[in-house]
Amino acid sequence: MDYDTIIETEPNFIWQTNITALQTDPRYSQRYVLCELLENQLKGEAIAANTPILVLEDYQNTMYSYSSTTTELLPGHTYVWQVSILFNGMVVDQSEPYQFTILKPKDPTPNFYPVAFKNDGQTYMVNNEQIGLVTDELGDLNLEVKIYTKGILVKSAELKDFIREEQKKNESETDKKPVAGKRFLVLDLKDLGLEKGYYHVIWTPKNKKSFAFNFTIDK
């Protein structure tokens, strides 16, 4: 991820390397470095000068899941990371430095539920009159959902892109793009005029591919 704006404070980092000897030759190793990017600072400057938040020496994988046991990544802050290839302790290759920003929402963040087409039909909690969905579906998506109660269609609504909506509220964020490969969508119930009851939602993001979930309005 580079110049992404993300919600997760424990993100996954994934990279690729062409050096197959990393798995077989003990003379090769990887070093992963993560640090904060300060205002008006270039990515390379941050890697070279700032105190790292995390350093992984002799790392053998090409993925790292940030852990809550390490230093907390803070909303509204920007970070930069880089992977280096070492041979006998000397750097022989490096990735470009990549930066990302943790979104700082203006309003309370809804609960985000993963879109799992093989395990749909779950009942989700409404938080701040919103329900959040997170999907890995790529490309153009149909964002219209159909809302039913007792088998009767009562409303159609449009899912909102949560990160883009939050960026609009903060002009300083508008030059940053949303996270690639993962979308955070929100069903906003505020203006739908739904009465107290149990509701069933069907979303068809792509042709012949549907996802369903339920929710309850208690008041």
Find where tokens 């309850």 sit: 216
Q: Where in the chain is the domain with CATH 2.60.40.10?
A: 4-102
Nearest to 182 by CA among 9, 5, 62: 5
Q: Which of 81-95, 97-111, 142-156 has the lowest mean pLDDT?
A: 97-111
> 122: part of which helix (H) or strand (E)?
strand 122-124
CATH class of the domain at 112-217: mainly beta
Looking at residue 200, its pLDDT comes to 96
Query: Hey, which CATH number is domain 4-102, 1.20.210.10, 2.60.40.10, 3.40.50.2000, 2.60.40.1530?
Result: 2.60.40.10
User: Looking at per-residue confidence, does 21 or 160 come out higher?
Assistant: 160
Looking at residue 207, its pLDDT comes to 80
Task: Tell me the one-letter amino acid at 184.
Answer: F
Flag whether pLDDT at 199 surpasses 90: yes
pLDDT tens track for 3-47: 788 888 899 999 988 777 777 888 888 999 999 999 999 999 999
Q: Cα 30–37–133 angle (5° rounding)?
A: 85
Question: Residue 107: which pLDDT band, with cuts at 50, 70 and 90?
Answer: low
Q: How far is CA 43 from the centre of its chain?
A: 21
Token pair in block for residue 206: 């792509």
Tell me the pTM. 0.63
